[in-house]
Structure 1
Amino acid sequence: MVGEMAVELKLLGAAIVVGLVQLLWAAAAARAHQGDLKWAAGPRDTPMPLGGVAARLERAFWNFAETFPFFAAAVLACAFAGKLGTDLTVWGSGLYVAARALYAPLYASGIPTIRTLVWLAAMAGLVMVLVALFR
């Protein structure tokens, strides 16, 4: 089929959805935890700290935000270099997206060791895409 989008680019889109879901989930949890919509709608000059699940979701989102630009750049660099469609790029992209989708619920649940292993899996996926770029 002419113009079929590479699976890695579809997975990049899926990673964007994962990030947006995490952002909205963290924001909703923060508003529920803080309970003060007047503060949320205002200039927020006085910090209102988060705790519990809301704080964990915020940290999980920022962890995603730290790694996503590297993943996006790696996939786009592979696309530009004509290196998509390899086992490394397909499986690496899939591993990154799946692990990032699992990471936030694990973090929110307070599950430490498995969460760390899932983070490592996401990083392994990212490294796989980078390896494909330099082959």
Structure 2
Amino acid sequence: MTIELSLLIWSAILAFAYLGVQSIVYRMDYGIKHANSQRDNERPPNKWTVRAQRALGNFLETYPVFIVLAVATELSGRSDGLTQWGAIIWFAARWAYLPAYFIDIKQLRSSIWSISLMGLLLMFFGVAF
């Protein structure tokens, strides 16, 4: 099994982490009773809930690209240094991104996001050319 495919499988845990953090933070903000309701007339969320929702949304925007590139690498048999390092960089950066979204250090979150994008670009160039 290639590194890319292995990281694709392990990325399910990463997705569960993003979903879990968002779910836990939401329940801490609104309470379990409200979370189990229809959520009609919901008050505005606190900043932590907003950050958790944004982090999850951002992950879900890039995750399909990683899936496509990992599968394309596997199916094409083009796993090489570019695709392998790209997958590792994306995977590590996405783990770092989650706590970074909650830490208020200027440019930290954006820098980590840029690093994860570089990982995807490495994968793309490795599989496409």
AA partner of residue 75 (structure 1): A
Q: 1:63 aligns with which of 48, 58, 63?
A: 58
Could you tell me which runs of 5 or more consecutive residues in structure 2 were left unpaired when the two chains were aligned: none
- The number of residue pairs the alignment matches comes to 129
Could you tell me which runs of 5 or more consecutive residues in structure 1 were left unpaired when the two chains were aligned: none
Q: Does 1:89 align with 2:61?
A: no
Equivalent positions of 1:17-96 (< 5 A) are 17-35=13-31, 37-84=32-79, 86-96=80-90
Shift of 1:45: 2.7
Ranges of 4+ aligned residues in structure 1 off by more than 4 Å: none
Structure 2: distance between partners of 1:130 and 1:31: 38
Three-state SS of the structure 1 residue aligned to 2:107 is helix
Q: 1:124 aligns with which of 109, 118, 123?
A: 118
Structure 1: distance between partners of 2:43 and 2:22: 15
Between 71-80 and 48-57, report the one with greater CA deviation.
Answer: 48-57
Render the CA deviation track for 1:83-109: whole Å, top value 9, x for unaligned. Answer: 12x000110000000000000101112
TM-score by length of 1: 0.89
Q: 2:3 aligns with which of 1, 4, 7?
A: 7
TM-score by length of 2: 0.93
Q: CA RMSD in A?
A: 1.2
Three-state SS of the structure 2 residue aligned to 1:112 is coil
Three-state SS of the structure 2 residue aligned to 1:44 is coil
AA partner of residue 97 (structure 1): F
Shift of 1:38: 2.3
